[in-house]
Amino acid sequence: MREIIFDTETTGLEFKNDRVIEVGGVELLNHFPTGRTFHVYINPEERKVHPDALAVHGITDEFLKDKPIFSEIVAELLSFFEGARWVAHNANFDMSFMNAEFERLGLPPIGAEQVVDTLAMARRKHPMGPNSLDALCRRYGIDNSHRTKHGALLDAELLAEVYIEMQGGRQAALGLVHTEAGASRRGEDTAEEIVLLDATRPHALAERLTAHEIECHGALRQRLGAKAIWNKYE
């Protein structure tokens, strides 16, 4: 399953009039980061950045003057997101803005069935809160000390780590855990659950050693003699 963990920054809070000025996305495949990212700053055309928004993300009108407008980046954006679920924290906010941008260009909206809201997930999993991105980073031991202001790509990268942890962590992403009673791993179905170590590996690991590395390891074992720890696993 392919998912894009994404975030936006905007000129303000009114999706009908304000504009998207930054989009950052991180690709996950089966809940594991692939290393592929998407990041763009966008000129909001006639719309100015509201002072309250500027205080949050620090993106100025001057900085955005020479950036492409949304119509110039939309094809690349949709290509990156194609076939993936859209995952965001407080997704209603981000999707309202994204769909407003698509509507201005005569493009179809992204349907709710394609979207996962990690804030809703967090509220189900941790009903006592708090469930802001910063609070979830603290809860899961994720270093966000470099997050002095909001930034779409940085926030997407942090959210990707939070999202993985909320679903059992990287062991789950690698297929090393399962949940009781076959609990679903889909974001919208995830609830508090006991995570158990799985005794079986669903897929064999790919061979990672070259013939030269195996030969060198054999020579090392010979030098160490019969007490080499690797001999116990033959």
| Residues tagged active-site | 150
Q: Are 158 and 144 in contact (CB under 8 A)?
A: yes
For residues 137 and 126, what is the distance between their CA atoms, to the nearest angstrom? Answer: 13
Alpha helices, DSSP H, located in the chain: 51-57, 61-64, 70-81, 91-104, 118-125, 133-139, 152-166, 170-173, 211-224
- What is Dmax (Cα atoms) for the chain? 76
